[in-house]
Structure 1
């Protein structure tokens, strides 16, 4: 009959599990120092254990999730809030820029008006051709023609005598 060696096998399995747990905890602590989110695969690789074994360790998974939650929260913090004096200065600069743009707008409108006046003077006052009449008005009768050069309001419409229309 064989001797019962199961207690040695059980002890060896318990020691392997304890070693794996210790490696996983050490790797988790080491990865936490980096401050980045940690995946189950990354932890398994660093601890040299299988992912399936990690999923059987609720305490390690909880620590991993806590680390990732705090890393995400830290990543959301974008920086320090601007001081009141900094915000006031930015507002002053914005108001100054609006004033500059308003003054430039006024100057450009005046310049455009002068240019239009010079063009008009060069065309009509300076011996250029007379202003053209709009095709819709007739200076002789004062009548206004209809749409698309049709008959004016005071003209009567005569029926056509077209031999081709039957």
Structure 2
């Protein structure tokens, strides 16, 4: 008679991670997400592990806009959702690292100024675990795409000064 209880315990132990993931996803829907996130990006954000990185991603408008752009270029299958999630978490880790290096940084856009290039690169190195001496092409490409988005948004808002700062950062990068 002890076998069924052992099997039941094994089954419930195997279902625990799935149950935890469902509960996290449901609870994450109660937390605020930047209004810049599209419906597709919001769904990706809800599926993410709920931790400090996902909190930074959810609360930063520029990271959410970057997610929107990435999602536009994907075909909508599971692998593309995973790719977008990884790229968003990469930027979230970068932002967390930048905040730990400079307490004045609050958003990703705060990094996109010419005087912040060394901070941005140091934060990228820290987020990557100090595994490289020069920033890899993927980091530079991601930051350049984020700059394009920030410049476009600044111009739409009529903030010429922010657009000029970000453009200067882009050229330095």
Give your verdict on TM over 0.5. Answer: no
Structure with greater proportional helix content: 2
Task: Output the TM-score relative to the length of structure 1.
Answer: 0.24
- Bigger relative CO (Cα 8 Å, ≥ 6 apart): 2
TM-score by length of 2: 0.24
Larger radius of gyration: 1
